[in-house]
Amino acid sequence: MNWYAIKAIYLSELARTWRTPMQSIASPVLSTSLYFIVFGSAIGSAMASIDGISYGAFIVPGLIMLMVLTESTSNSSFGIYMPKWSGAIYEILSAPVSAFEIVVGYVGAAASKSLILGVIILLTARVFVDYSIMHPFWMVLFLFLTAVTFSLLGFIIGVMADGFERLQAIPLMVVTPLAFLGGTFYSISMLPDFWQKVTLFNPVVYLVSGFRWSFYGVADVSIVWSLVMICSFLALFLVIIWWVFRTGYKVKV
């Protein structure tokens, strides 16, 4: 195992964050704060509580999930796409590193970043709403699995993308809508019957539900299903990455 390489990739990717603190940290924190102000404090005060949880507190887990999902995906896709685009990837391809080590470095850094961001947003939320965390261990586990899974997805997107437009298409057109419709702002039991069934095809529902359960002990779907789903996605993305490297897809000819 080339630990020095993993460390080098990991640290240089994290350094990228500190180089652009406005874009990497301030802007996601600001936008979630706006959600908290508008939906949590302003509109939330006029909303009925859901499952006995005040609306402001109800949306906290979903909003953190939303942010971690999108940031993991876009961060990771950007991280691997940039050297591909600039050509600097030659160095990693010519280095004594395995595909596994490359993935650990890039995905680890992207996941770390969004975990840090998740924690910052969690603390920020405290300023606006009161929430409690019933199962801290599960909360951390869900956050961690989500960050890793979607950083893997971002990595796949970054490797396969052959333009900036493509790079942003999936996060923008797929991940964000799914996250919005994933039960961040409502309980799926509030939907008509038909749409409840449709919603169950949205993987984000399971993440948000499980994550919210770790806060308040209530969930839209069973916690077991949430875990099964997140682990299945993790496995799926790992298989895709394995395939990508095996075939050298768009990286090596």
Binding site for other proteins (CB under 8 A): 2, 4-5, 7-9, 11-12, 15-16, 19, 82-83, 86-98, 248, 252-253
Using alpha carbons, select from 159, 182, 166, 224 the residue that is nearest to residue 68.
Answer: 182
* Residue 3 or 201 having the CB closest to other proteins: 3
Minimum CB distance to other proteins, residue 243 (Å): 16
SS3 content of the chain, % helix, strand, coil (to 5): 80, 0, 20
* Residue 80 or 230 having the CB closest to other proteins: 80
* Residue 22 or 224 having the CB closest to other proteins: 22
What's the rounded Cα separation, in Å, for the pair 119 and 67?
11
Minimum CB distance to other proteins, residue 96 (Å): 4
Provide the strand spans (E) within 53-109: none
**Tokens describing residue 193:** 């019957």
* Residue 22 or 94 having the CB closest to other proteins: 94
65 three-state secondary structure: helix
Work out whether the CA dihedral 95, 101, 107, 110 comes out positive or negative.
negative
Q: How far is CA 6 from CA 61, 148, 156, in A?
A: 31, 16, 18
* Residue 61 or 79 having the CB closest to other proteins: 79
Minimum CB distance to other proteins, residue 171 (Å): 22
* Residue 104 or 205 having the CB closest to other proteins: 104
* One-letter identity of residue 119: V
Question: Which residue, chain included where needed, has tokens 């590193």?
Answer: 97
Using alpha carbons, select from 188, 183, 57 the residue that is nearest to residue 129.
Answer: 57
Minimum CB distance to other proteins, residue 89 (Å): 8
Minimum CB distance to other proteins, residue 166 (Å): 20
Minimum CB distance to other proteins, residue 81 (Å): 12
What's the rounded Cα separation, in Å, for the pair 45 and 193?
27
